[in-house]
Structure 1
Amino acid sequence: MQDSRRGHLKPAERRHRRRRLGVAALAVAGIVTLTACSQTASGASEKPPAQDSGSGADAGAAPGENGSAAVTVSPATDGKDVIPGEPITVKPDEGKLASVTVTAGDGKVLDGTLSADGASWTSSQPTGYGTTYTLKAELAASDGAEAATSTSSFTTLSKDEIFVGTYNVNKGTTVGVALPVSIVFNKAIHDKAAVELKLKVTSSPAVEGAWSWMKDRDGKDRIDYRPKEYWKPGTKVKLAMDLAGVKNGDLVGTQNREVDFTIGKSVVSTVDVVKKTVTVAENGKVLKTLPVSTGKKTFETWNGTMVVLSKVPTIRMNSASVGIFGPEAYDLGAVKWDVQLTPSGTYAHAAPWNEGKFGKVNSSHGCIGMSTDDAKWFYDRVNYGDPITVVKSTDTVAVNNGYGNWNVDWATWKKGSALA
């Protein structure tokens, strides 16, 4: 798709509120109660975007023939609800496990492994959403006592009962110096302070930074973290999300995530729409200044700092996708060396149809066009998270149009925190 003003686009008896999943055998009635523990497991992320979910339920079960076997299940939220979409761990409150079997309502058994010391059993696959499971646990006999067993059940929460966040960094990756940490939630966040308290970004070396809330372009709640200044090359950064059990109205958070990533070399580009050039500097040293053609009148390229979102070798750009028809319409079938700067459609790319205008005339619909050779050179040197600042243009890019975070002064940015 294309932005009608700015260019092209293609393309959330143990006291700690834990509930026991297991047995509290009553001598007379022989009744057993079942609940779940509040511990949670952590996991890593996938692509800017990875998500998780939470679950829950309690139930009852009959006591084992040879006594009772009290166990706890994790991960769980707020001391009761088992989280779906995660492997589960079963631990005995006392003694050692001899065996554990967890079976879904359709008869499918969760594969798992019993630890060598009998202290825990962990499934090798995640639980489903809104699914009821039967759990059979047997404790090993000890000190002359007979083996104890129990059969109980629990139900994970459905997707309608949870909220999750999609984040923009992959574990173990290297990103540019201007990339903020950004989380977009799949459902409205009513208690922003409670959620923000459970989000943390740390770095080595340490920097001053802050979270700030906004609405993403599609209206979803989003929170970004950025340092006061660009990250320094080589900085090690960690995002920690401890949302399992966090209450958000009637919804429950489920994600426990730690994502480590590294800041790469500093590649900073500056586009001057009056001079019609882009200057690229690496680690403070200018590599090259290239002639460009930016947005023409009424289609001016966004002013301010944008951040590289993606790179695509070839895409189709069709003006109809953003409502440009008539004399300004275009359909470019194979545009080369495309560096995306905003989701609204601003790209830096090869524009051979404008040969002879680079460095002389601004004639695009908002993109930054250059020769095919120069576009390839530029494409090869910039990466996800690198800043590209446009100067002397009109209308500053919005903070939520990609990562326009750097166009907000620091004092204003900090006021966007729910904890400010």
Structure 2
Amino acid sequence: MSHSVRIRPVPFCALVLVSLALGATASCGGSSNPLADKPYDATDQVDLAGAGDGRKADPSKPLEVTATGGDRITDVTATDAAGRYVKGELDADGSRWHSTGALAAGAHYTVRVSTEDADGAQGRRTIGFDTNPADRLLRVAFGPQSGTYGVGQPITAELSEPVQDPAARAVVERTLQVRSRPAVEGAWHWVDNRTLHYRPPDYWPAHATIDVSATLDGIKVGGGLYGGASKPVRLTTGDRVEAVTDAAGHYMSVRKNGQEIRSIPVTTGKPGYATRNGVKVILGRESFVRMRGTSIGIAEGSSDSYDLPVYWATRVTWSGEYVHAAPWSEGSQGADNVSHGCTGMSTGNAKWFFDNVRVGDIVKVVGSTGATMTPFDNGFGDWNMPWRQWREGSALAAGKREGTSPADTARLRPRM
């Protein structure tokens, strides 16, 4: 319950008498409040160890601000040119402040120190300094290059140096930013010590905009390694195009945004050369390819050897699996599997397929006796890994399971 308090005005003469009785001086133009006075120059009262006055600081060492003239430090802020704050701690007696967060290499910093003397007067000192450049830089190259892709296209990050330590991986991963409009959840997965892939639980939304960037520049990774500059990329997705091949039924269904737009009789891999099951992502399109059996290990001169001119070839693995025109097998298309692993169709259907798909679109094979497409070593089989397993490949996986804040850095956010 609140109560109103009535304040009685005090006569001005009474205020003057009280001031005189206390030996104070009253003035309309001054103030007895130290906080209202202009701060004094505290240059002689504080010292920044190892930096300032033209000296460059070692980024591997913490900052240390000390009170040298008998005053006490009340506050310290240290920021780089991008406005990022350096974390730090102030001793209880105000004699010393030291940084607890890492400095960036090759960066400019501004340190603002506030002090207080024995009478409560406030002092200020501002110190600017640079840090030494790094001897070793970790750079990241994002892929694919900016452009429009299918909804199955993963994002890749290739590092210039291997990173194996889990703590160092977490530092790197927190700086890799992926923002999508519309926003969907996603996560990075460490393929090896130098390669990361990023994807959502399901395919990207159709007609999305995806911005990929890094804030790694100057960040201490560990072991004398610091982050370098990187080039951002912007991707957009087209329609959701999926080609689903039923190897047992010998037909491919091409779907656009969930609706079938063409059914194509096909032939896939014969016994001993069964086509891989699972989701593959289109890697490229080649209007003409010369295909040789020797490229997949078939000895020249054997009964299975071949050397053929192939048209309208859409690549789905680096080892040479395509969707392509196969006029020599039209009698088997829709009825039997006679290829060496590729998906063959008539020249007309292959040309139509070639013209209606793009890099990043999805080619899924079901009903084959072949093994499932591997996630990483022969193209983009990323979608064949269950989402739970995918997330465990993140260096921030522990934080995600516990629901801590670092997990947020691996999520897609809408652009503002």
Residue 281 (str. 1) matches residue 255 (str. 2): yes
Correspondence for 1:340 among 315, 326, 330: 315
SS of equivalent residue, structure 1 residue 411: helix
Is the Cα contact below 8 Å between 2:134 and 2:225 reproduced in 1?
A: no
Is the Cα contact below 8 Å between 1:295 and 1:362 reproduced in 2?
A: yes
In structure 1, what is the equivalent of residue 373 of structure 2? 397
Correspondence for 2:291 among 312, 317, 333: 317
> More helix by proportion, 1 or 2?
2
Change (3 A) 1:19 1:319: farther
What one-letter code is carried by the residue in structure 1 that aligns with 2:303?
P
Residue 366 (str. 1) matches residue 360 (str. 2): no
Quote the Cα distance in structure 2 between the aligned partners of 1:349 and 1:168.
Answer: 26
How far off is 1:200 after superposition? 1.7
Q: For 1:241-260, what aligned pairs fall within 5 Å after superposition?
A: 241-246=214-219, 247-260=221-234
Quote the Cα distance in structure 2 between the aligned partners of 1:291 and 1:276.
Answer: 6
In structure 1, what is the equivalent of residue 13 of structure 2? none
Change (3 A) 1:309 1:16: farther
Change (3 A) 1:16 1:320: farther
Quote the Cα distance in structure 1 between the aligned partners of 2:289 and 2:319.
Answer: 15
Quote the Cα distance in structure 1 between the aligned partners of 2:244 and 2:51.
Answer: 57
In structure 1, what is the equivalent of residue 161 of structure 2? 187
Residue 236 (str. 1) matches residue 209 (str. 2): yes
What one-letter code is carried by the residue in structure 1 that aligns with 2:198?
Y
Is the Cα contact below 8 Å between 2:141 and 2:230 reproduced in 1?
A: no
Change (3 A) 1:275 1:91: same
SS of equivalent residue, structure 2 residue 336: coil
Quote the Cα distance in structure 2 between the aligned partners of 1:195 and 1:278.
Answer: 42
Change (3 A) 1:278 1:81: same
Quote the Cα distance in structure 1 between the aligned partners of 2:182 and 2:51.
Answer: 41
Is the Cα contact below 8 Å between 1:19 and 1:80 reproduced in 2?
A: no
Change (3 A) 1:353 1:244: same
How far off is 1:197 after superposition? 0.9
Any unmatched runs of 5+ in structure 1?
1-12, 25-31, 41-76, 83-89, 94-153
Correspondence for 1:418 among 364, 388, 395: 395
In structure 2, what is the equivalent of residue 28 of structure 1? none
Is the Cα contact below 8 Å between 1:349 and 1:375 reproduced in 2?
A: yes
How far off is 1:357 after superposition? 1.5
In structure 1, what is the equivalent of residue 118 of structure 2? none
Residues 184-227 of structure 1, C-alpha deviations (whole Å, 9 max, x = no match): 33432223211111112111111121111113xxxx63211111
In structure 2, what is the equivalent of residue 109 of structure 1? none
Residues 279-331 of structure 1, C-alpha deviations (whole Å, 9 max, x = no match): 10111111111011111112111100001111111122222233221332222
SS of equivalent residue, structure 1 residue 295: coil
Q: Which has the higher contact order (CA 8 A, sep 6+)?
A: 1
Question: Which structure has the greater CA radius of gyration?
Answer: 2
Q: For 1:82-161, what aligned pairs fall within 5 Å after superposition?
A: 161=136
How far off is 1:248 after superposition? 4.9
Any unmatched runs of 5+ in structure 2?
1-42, 60-79, 83-101, 112-130, 398-416
How far off is 1:255 after superposition? 2.7
Q: CA RMSD in A?
A: 3.3
SS of equivalent residue, structure 1 residue 240: strand
Task: Report the identity percentage.
Answer: 35
In structure 2, what is the equivalent of residue 136 of structure 1? none
Change (3 A) 1:81 1:310: same
Give the TM-score normalised by the residue count of structure 2.
0.62
Residue 356 (str. 1) matches residue 331 (str. 2): yes
SS of equivalent residue, structure 1 residue 328: coil
Change (3 A) 1:289 1:320: same
Change (3 A) 1:236 1:395: same
How far off is 1:156 after superposition? 7.4
